[in-house]
Structure 1
Amino acid sequence: MKTRHYAVIVTILISLVLQIMPLPIQADLYRPDWVLIVLAYWTMALPHRVNVGVAFLTGLAMDILLGTALGIHSFALSAAVYVLAANYQRLRNYSVWQQAIIIGLLSSMYHLMLFWLQHLLTDIPFQFAYLWPVVSSMVLWPWMFWLLRKARRQLSIT
């Protein structure tokens, strides 16, 4: 098989690596949601290949890699991808900057769901610092969109 068949899986694996890559404590506070951004792009570009099931499996991998309770990231990623998959035709027509705002809203929903589930399990207090990745994900979206779209077009992924 050609490498283009594995491109989606490779980008998801790269996003998982970026999600767990060690960063200095000051920078880790602003770590973008790499996995959510990559899944969001592929869900909007190829909704027949990347859907809630892929998000659930990727979330399980994140739970294992991050050492969180099994199912927390799966549930939050699945919910975010469900919202995208249900509205992908409308979201495709938005400009990249409007999509960045949607990604920010999805990222905030994702983080609030993660907090809510972890709060139910461990009783952690809420801090607004949990939402800094929302801002960095919004800022990163246009560049990731253009990078992944270029890769998709060069590899003729359909």
Structure 2
Amino acid sequence: MKMRFWLGLTLFVALISAIMPVPEWIEAFRPDWLLLVLAYWAIALPNRVNVGSAWTCGLVLDVLQGAVLGANALALSVVVYVLALHFQKIRNFSVWQQAIIVALLSIMVKVLGYWMSYLAYDIQFDEQQLWGALINFLLWPWLFYLMRRYRRHFKIR
């Protein structure tokens, strides 16, 4: 029960960080905190954080952001599924190789989110959103080491 609390706390902080208001000029460079935290937990503890966890977090994010219901849920679920399917391979990669994978998956999240919104609202794709993938790439090593230290400190297994 204690481990679930600490794990849930990281997901809660990631959700709060995802909806925190930022200036409009920074919005394009906003990292996808929920994706980064879910990716870490899907690689570190695939038996605890799975597609259902990603779906639930994605639905909560959709409601909080007022996005198309299920857009983030679908995108995050697909990413966590891919990570959980290959978590043993990804664990053996260096942190920078993992960062490349996370950046590619964050591009996939943006494209899936756009596709779902396009089907509902007929919107145009904003290339500025892809800057977030570069920021995710740069943040992944720092977040990886921070989360690993957090996991070891609180003995989350």
**Structure 1 and Structure 2 fold alike (TM over 0.5):** yes
1:5 Cα shift? Answer: 3.3
- How do 1:58-69 and structure 2 match up within 5 A? 58-69=57-68
- The runs of 4+ residues in structure 1 deviating greater than 6 Å are none
Q: Deviations over 1:43-79 (max 9, x none)?
A: 0000000000000000010001001121111001000
In 1, Cα distance between equivalents of 2:87 and 2:4: 22
Counterpart in the other structure of 1:18 = 17
Is 1:97 aligned to residue 112 of structure 2?
A: no
TM (norm. structure 1) is: 0.97
In 1, Cα distance between equivalents of 2:9 and 2:118: 33
In 2, Cα distance between equivalents of 1:37 and 1:64: 19
In 1, Cα distance between equivalents of 2:71 and 2:126: 19
1:148 Cα shift? Answer: 0.4
Structure 1 gaps, min length 5 = none
Amino acid at match of 1:36: L
In 2, Cα distance between equivalents of 1:57 and 1:5: 15
Amino acid at match of 1:14: V
In 1, Cα distance between equivalents of 2:150 and 2:97: 22
- How do 1:5-154 and structure 2 match up within 5 A? 5-154=4-153
In 2, Cα distance between equivalents of 1:126 and 1:23: 21
TM (norm. structure 2) is: 0.97
1:127 Cα shift? Answer: 2.4
Residues 56 and 73, structure 2, Cα contact 8 Å, conserved in 1: yes
1:14 Cα shift? Answer: 0.1
In 2, Cα distance between equivalents of 1:126 and 1:19: 20
> Pairwise CA RMSD of aligned residues?
0.9
Amino acid at match of 1:8: L
In 2, Cα distance between equivalents of 1:5 and 1:81: 18
Amino acid at match of 1:25: E
In 2, Cα distance between equivalents of 1:105 and 1:148: 20
Residues 106 and 133, structure 2, Cα contact 8 Å, conserved in 1: yes
In 1, Cα distance between equivalents of 2:129 and 2:20: 18
1:156 Cα shift? Answer: 1.0
Count of residues in correspondence between the two structures: 157
Amino acid at match of 1:138: F
- Percent of residue pairs identical: 47
